[in-house]
């Protein structure tokens, strides 16, 4: 086990508590392995009737995966993504009730361990995003599944821009099942551990009406501008809109990796056709494997997370230079002996 993840049985609840406060609880390979081990042990333990996932201290639930090493080491990247996606799939298929408390920053890998849970609690502190196009990656950990199932073109918008949502917006989009004040969480967790069979009622009783979701006011514009199969068409629609919001959004997209934007857009479009989450994970692992062999991932991590100069030099530098053949290659399935497999296979 690792001290970066605290595991315990509290009453009738298995507790998984992320414990890397200085890194906003970003996931490491040992953390993913420890979560898998605990979940597998609790699956057959009749004393554990529910699983609660939160963070031990500090701000944020989980800022994502710790991708710095993975960005410069393709072998390490494959190992990390393979284990992380196995964890995502295990949570998605877990028979016992699971509750994720998205109290604070919930990005990337944090989305991957919260969205598969049966119950997903947002608070006034929730800050949700899939910002991977800014580091040359794409919204993985099941992002192709979750974002593609959002209403209208909201999935395309969130995947491309990495827009940040507050708790009310997360709840309004169905990415959270409940909205609970953060001050009420300790008592709620205690109650869930004592009466897991009453989880649905306890969560409902702890919930309050969230503030208005500002993003929903923007939905007609988002649907009109982002409902395109080609990234160039999204950019053209934004250029033609000329509203301050469209101009700001266009400026945001111009800073993203053109390759990542095209990959992310196709990921959302393809995700709508998938009926099995394991197929989504298998596809995303293949995409991640190919993306990690291209320059934008290392460059994006360097610019935003290592040197922090926020001046990535993308290659290719323009959407027009990212050819359909290049994207087809990134989406090509891996050979069977290299493909992602769920646990037990």
Q: Which residues pair with 165 in a beta bridge?
A: 128
What distance lies between CA 327 and its chain's CA centroid?
A: 22
Work out the widest C-alpha separation in the chain, in whole angstroms: 60
Residue partners of 41: CB distance under 8 A and separation at least 6: none
Place of tokens 């400026």: 251
Query: From CA 302, how far away is CA 309, in angstroms rounded?
Result: 8
Select which of 11, 14, 60, 65 is catalytic. 65
Sign of CA dihedral 18, 20, 25, 31: negative
Select which of 49, 66, 83, 140 is catalytic. 140
Q: Specify whether 240 is catalytic.
A: no
Select which of 14, 108, 109, 110 is catalytic. 109
Structure-token pair, residue 148: 């593609």
Structure-token pair, residue 299: 């460059």
Query: From CA 269, how far away is CA 26, in angstroms rounded?
Result: 28
CB-based burial, 132-159: b 16+ in 10 Å, e otherwise? bbbbbbbbbbbbbbbbbebeebbbbbbb
48-92-42 Cα angle (round to 5): 20
Q: Specify whether 214 is catalytic.
A: no
CB-based contact 114:177 (threshold 8 Å): no
CB-based contact 265:234 (threshold 8 Å): yes
Q: Specify whether 132 is catalytic.
A: yes
Q: Specify whether 65 is catalytic.
A: yes
Indicate the SS3 state at residue 111.
helix
Select which of 132, 156, 166, 169 is catalytic. 132
CB-based contact 69:27 (threshold 8 Å): no
- Supply the residues annotated as catalytic: 65, 109, 132, 140
């Amino acid at each position: 086990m690792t001290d970066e993840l605290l595991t315990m049985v509290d009453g009738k609840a298995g507790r998984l508590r992320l414990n890397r406060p200085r890194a906003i609880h970003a996931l490491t390979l040992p953390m993913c392995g420890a979560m898998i081990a605990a979940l597998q042990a609790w699956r057959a333990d009749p004393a554990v009737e529910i699983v609660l996932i939160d963070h031990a201290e500090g701000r944020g639930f989980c800022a994502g995966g710790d991708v710095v090493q993975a960005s410069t080491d393709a072998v390490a990247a494959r190992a990390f993504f393979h284990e992380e996606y196995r964890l995502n799939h295990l949570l998605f298929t877990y028979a016992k009730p699971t509750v994720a408390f998205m109290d604070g920053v919930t990005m990337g890998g944090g989305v991957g361990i919260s969205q598969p849970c049966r119950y997903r609690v947002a608070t006034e502190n929730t800050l949700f995003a899939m910002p991977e196009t800014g580091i040359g990656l794409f919204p993985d950990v099941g992002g192709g599944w979750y974002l593609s199932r959002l209403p209208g073109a909201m999935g395309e918008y969130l995947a491309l821009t990495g827009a940040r949502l507050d708790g009310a917006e997360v709840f309004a989009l169905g990415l959270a099942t409940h909205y609970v004040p953060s001050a009420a969480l300790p008592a709620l967790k205690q109650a869930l551990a004592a009466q897991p069979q009453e989880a649905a009622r306890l969560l409902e009783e702890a919930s309050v009406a969230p503030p208005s979701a500002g993003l929903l006011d923007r939905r007609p514009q988002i649907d009109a501008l982002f409902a395109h199969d080609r990234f160039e068409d999204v950019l053209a629609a934004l250029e033609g809109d000329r509203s301050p919001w469209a101009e700001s959004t266009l400026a945001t997209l111009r800073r993203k990796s053109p390759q990542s934007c095209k990959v992310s857009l196709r990921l959302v479009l393809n995700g709508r056709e998938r009926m099995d989450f394991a197929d989504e994970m298998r596809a995303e692992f293949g995409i991640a494997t190919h993306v990690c062999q291209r320059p934008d991932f290392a460059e994006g991590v360097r610019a935003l997370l290592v040197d922090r100069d926020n001046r990535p030099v993308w290659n290719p530098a323009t959407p027009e230079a990212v050819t359909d053949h290049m994207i087809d290659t990134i989406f090509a399935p891996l050979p069977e002996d290299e493909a992602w497999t769920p646990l037990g296979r």
